[in-house]
Amino acid sequence: MTPVHALVAEYLAHLRVERGLSRNTLEAYARDLARYETFLAARGHADLATVAPEDVTACLRAVRTGDDGGRPLAPSSAGRLVTAVRGLHRFALAEGRVAHDVAAGVAPPAAPRPLPDALDHAQVAALLAAVPEDGAPVSLRDRALLELLYGTGTRISEAVGLAVDDVDLDGRSLTVLGKGAKVRVLPLGGHASAALAAWLVRGRPALAARGRGTPRIFLNTLGRPLSRQSAWTVLQQTAERAGIAEHVSPHTLRHTFATHLLQGGADVRVVQELLGHASVTTTQIYTHVTIDSLRETWAMSHPRAR
């Protein structure tokens, strides 16, 4: 008999070593499985071998409503918990710790698929124009960061995790380490390349001199790696100066990148590769954003539209 806690630890180690999941994903799985473990303990299950399908289903209901004592989970978060739980049971079966996979038939809740928020071209121009052009190191950094996020569609964690050697200014490309330790090479546009060059040559050395040396591209005022939270603050403060009323997050720029590409005629599978999505289904949510522009063109052009 292997206690649930010990089996969870083995499973997380397997995900880290064998599957190469990112730290953020592993932390999320650890939280989900800790909640599952607590739920099972309350029902008298110390060993996964005694768990029945009804227990797994009951856990899903409890985390959706908060009846297990935790905060109620949205469908997307509950779906991630189900994924973690199903993976744990599948791992236990493969390792010979249980005779049956009792979680295999438990489906995650259907999550609503809201249209992603995206800025229009004028708002992007206003956002970038709101970065001071005073030549200060912080201003050069902020311009490079925002040009990079909008110009490449990288996740904020990917952007702040970049090293200096990941940027090829001569070849105008960027090497990104994405989810699941997957590497992708992205093209750098002229604006992003120019902003990064200005930051690396005229801005970064001044901040780097204050720190102890780090290969990361983006630094804070102490010369240390810029955190995701600080990068988020940079974007929010710049959006406020630009007078953009909508909530703007780093993911907003990722949505905007994808939306503008599709509006410009890019193939959805190309956008999938650029975003680093494992499935084109994930990318296809962005195609809904362009329906308004398609409808407008149709209404103006088709003789039977009115």
How much is the pTM? 0.60
Based on its alpha-carbon atoms, the radius of gyration of the chain, rounded to whole angstroms, reads 23
The per-residue pLDDT for 159 is 95
Does residue 146 contact residue 127 with C-beta atoms inside 8 Å?
yes
Residue 230 within a domain: yes
Q: What is the pLDDT of residues 122-154, one digit of tens each?
A: 999 999 999 999 999 999 999 999 999 999 999
**Exposed, middle or buried: residue 83 (CB in 10 Å: 0-12, 13-18, 19+)?**
middle
More confident residue, 18 or 121: 121
Final residue of a structural domain among 199, 215, 247:
247
The per-residue pLDDT for 112 is 59
**Same domain assignment for residues 89 and 143:** no
**Same domain assignment for residues 20 and 88:** yes
The domain in which residue 74 lies consists of: 4-94
Active site residue 254: yes
What is the spatial distance between Cα 261 and Cα 265, in angstroms, rounded to a whole number?
Answer: 7
Least confident of 31-35, 165-169, 288-292: 288-292
**Same domain assignment for residues 67 and 184:** no
**Same domain assignment for residues 128 and 243:** yes
More confident residue, 69 or 131: 131
Q: What is the pLDDT of residues 13-64, one digit of tens each?
A: 999 888 888 888 899 999 999 999 999 999 999 999 999 999 999 999 999 8
Residue 133 within a domain: yes
The per-residue pLDDT for 292 is 54
The per-residue pLDDT for 18 is 81
The per-residue pLDDT for 302 is 56
Residue 231 has pLDDT above 90, yes or no: yes
More confident residue, 68 or 280: 68
Q: What is the pLDDT of residues 255-288, one digit of tens each?
A: 899 888 888 888 888 888 888 887 776 776 666 5
pLDDT band at residue 299, thresholds of 50, 70 and 90?
A: low
**Same domain assignment for residues 141 and 220:** yes
Main-chain dihedrals φ then ψ at residue 271, nearest 5 degrees: -65, -40
Residue 142 within a domain: yes
**Same domain assignment for residues 143 and 222:** yes
Final residue of a structural domain among 247, 269, 296:
247
Does residue 81 contact residue 56 with C-beta atoms inside 8 Å?
no
The per-residue pLDDT for 3 is 86
The rounded percent of the chain whose pLDDT value lies above 70 is 89
- One of 31, 224, 251, 288 is an active-site residue; which one? 251
- One of 35, 141, 143, 254 is an active-site residue; which one? 254
Question: Which spans in 213-267 are helix H?
Answer: 228-242, 250-263
- One of 14, 45, 90, 179 is an active-site residue; which one? 179
The per-residue pLDDT for 200 is 97
Final residue of a structural domain among 247, 263, 293:
247
**Same domain assignment for residues 137 and 84:** no
Contacts of 99 by beta carbon, 8 Å cutoff, 6+ apart: 49, 93
Active site residue 100: no
**Same domain assignment for residues 128 and 214:** yes
The per-residue pLDDT for 29 is 92
**Same domain assignment for residues 236 and 176:** yes
**Same domain assignment for residues 196 and 128:** yes
CATH code, 51? 1.10.150.130
- One of 80, 155, 216, 260 is an active-site residue; which one? 155
Strand order in the sheet with 173-177: 167-168, 173-177, 183-187
Residue 88 within a domain: yes
Residue 293 has pLDDT above 70, yes or no: no
Residue 113 within a domain: no
Domain count, the chain: 2
Residue 29 within a domain: yes
Most confident of 1-10, 103-112, 151-160: 151-160
Terminal CA-CA length for the chain: 71
Residue 305 within a domain: no
CATH code, 178? 1.10.443.10
Residue 296 has pLDDT above 70, yes or no: no
pLDDT band at residue 300, thresholds of 50, 70 and 90?
A: low
The per-residue pLDDT for 301 is 59
**Same domain assignment for residues 175 and 240:** yes
**Same domain assignment for residues 34 and 71:** yes
DSSP structure string for 147-196: HHHHHH---HHHHHT-BGGGEETTTTEEEEE-GGG-EEEEE--HHHHHHH
Residue 22 within a domain: yes
Active site residue 228: no
What is the spatial distance between Cα 163 and Cα 204, in angstroms, rounded to a whole number?
Answer: 12
